[in-house]
Structure 1
């Protein structure tokens, strides 16, 4: 596969059910979030654990716990959108919800081309509105604090 843009990426919110495989995530009940302005970023980063040993010249370093970060999902505020409503409800509670990010990168040929998909569980940690000036769309930024692994299903021709 070649490089791709974020255009036509879809983000959906699922249930609070716990899943460990892409097949299980795929079967969840998904609600698409529309009016997305910025999908944000997410990915693994290890904590660096250090030790300063008195009998050695250099600091020892090791990888510690991994964190997949917090995705800042920016949407044009639309209180009538089902996906927006689901995000607001998720932010008001404390449970983690399943999320699906589907890129627009399927191959142009093949028996049944499929886009790349990322699945993960996250708590909706915050909801912030940006009002800005008269010529601005009111935006809401939802912070999706990812808890656990991000499962990637690469694009395929079948």
Structure 2
């Protein structure tokens, strides 16, 4: 790689990192606004999103997906039940487990809230080739792997902490 290519690559990486941070920041803000509109927390929304992919899950699986304690998951499930988004029933095969299932009719409220977002995303994707969309999907999958690894590191005692970080 010549110097011109190295400089161009360094700038491209810098631009990518900046765009990624901005996209992440805006995604967090959007999720908070959408959750507030539905009277939910962002974690509630993430739980519902996971259930939209799986249809149903045990409380333990939800705890793993959201990184919440079993007590916090129990509170969230009760909150989502009261709001009508999920049902929670004992697993007939193992009465100690609770199976949480989406209530499809209630999920339609969230679907309507996200409709304009979906339309805007489809407009963006319409300007890209199938191969470019596959690249973007692969990028998201690879970034998800990075996030999972970083979450595991942050959850371990091996996570580095800045010495000058303020204590709380």
Structure 1-normalised TM-score? 0.30
- Higher alpha-carbon Rg: 2
TM-score for the superposition, normalised by structure 2: 0.29
Structure (1 or 2) with the greater strand fraction: 1
Say which structure, 1 or 2, has more relative contact order (CA 8 Å, 6+ apart): 1
